[in-house]
Amino acid sequence: MSKKTTGLKKHDLAKKITCGTIFALLLLTGATGFSFPFSTQAQEPQENLNTDRTLEKAGNLFKQGRYESALAIYLDYREQNPGSMKSSICILIGNCYASLQRFDEALEEYKSAAEKIIQETPGTKNTTGLAELFAAIGDIYLRQNKFAEAEKYLKKSIEINSTDYKIIFNIAEILFAAGKFEESIAYYEWATRINPGWPKPYIQLGYAYMEKNQNQQAVEAFNTFLQLSPNSPDAESVKEALKLLQKR
């Protein structure tokens, strides 16, 4: 999350950033990387999805933002075809619920889909699709301010796909907000190793290092941020932080 909202005069960031605001800040900075699992389409069986006009209609309604209408079609389809597309239809219904901010129902559908995928095809336990599903569950828990659960599912996602730097960054943000600075540093650094040209983790690293009184590391992180993003709206705040560090 961008610390531009925190004000660096006191730089006590952990106190200024409450868990109740973390997901809103992640959304504002575009850091959540939230996406619906398998987009608005399911992955299996593709040939059925592409030829079934009912599902095609529902998919088009979803893309138009007519989530209630799409949901009604998907629910009716599942009732009429209880043995068809068991995991995929759960994902499509979950996407509708998530878009309608009916988060508990979305979670139920996504979790059911994950269980069905593992039961139906045990060999897919480590697929990217399942990682996306776990990430979607984690993101919904973030929206609900349930950070322990969010952390759990985001970590399950990166256990499968350890290259998604935005999810890794989000985990770091949760840890930072909880005051777990040492652990957050490890995740911020992980994100920088995957995408060294992304400025956001470096500013966060600087703040985390400040909380740990690791001043030299904080200076290095802030300077890297300024090199990568000299015109960022956060640049002035970072320069203020560097001035504070010089006085220590």
pLDDT for position 185 = 97
Mean pLDDT of 18-36: 40
Q: Supply the DSSP string of 94-158, one letter for each residue.
A: HHHHHHTT-HHHHHHHHHHHHHHHHHH-GGGTT-HHHHHHHHHHHHHHHHTT-HHHHHHHHHHHH
pLDDT in tens, 195-234: 999 999 999 999 999 999 999 999 999 999 999 999 999 9
pLDDT for position 87 = 86
Q: Where are the domains of the chain?
A: 1-30+165-248, 34-161
Please tell me which residue, 223 or 13, carries the higher pLDDT value. Answer: 223
Matching CATH topology for 1-30+165-248 and 34-161? yes
pLDDT in tens, 158-176: 998 899 999 999 999 999 9
Look up the pTM and report it.
0.72
Q: What phi and psi, each to the nearest 5 degrees, are found at residue 81? A: -130, 65
In eight-state DSSP terms, residue 213 is T
* Structural tokens at position 113: 């889909």
What residues contact residue 177 under an 8 Å CB cut-off, 6+ apart?
1, 14, 17, 18, 19, 22, 147
Is residue 82 pLDDT above 90, yes or no? no
**DSSP run (H or E) holding 183:** helix 181-194
Please give the Cα distance from 141 to 151 (Å, whole number): 9
CATH of 34-161, one of 1.10.3720.10, 3.90.1150.10, 1.10.287.70, 1.25.40.10: 1.25.40.10
Mean pLDDT of 47-69: 82
Kindly state which CATH superfamily the domain 1-30+165-248 is placed in: Tetratricopeptide repeat domain (1.25.40.10)
Among the residue ranges 37-51, 62-76, 87-101, 130-144, the one predicted with the least confidence is 37-51
Mean pLDDT of 137-142: 93
Q: Give which of 238, 169, 245 is closest to 213, Cα–Cα.
A: 245
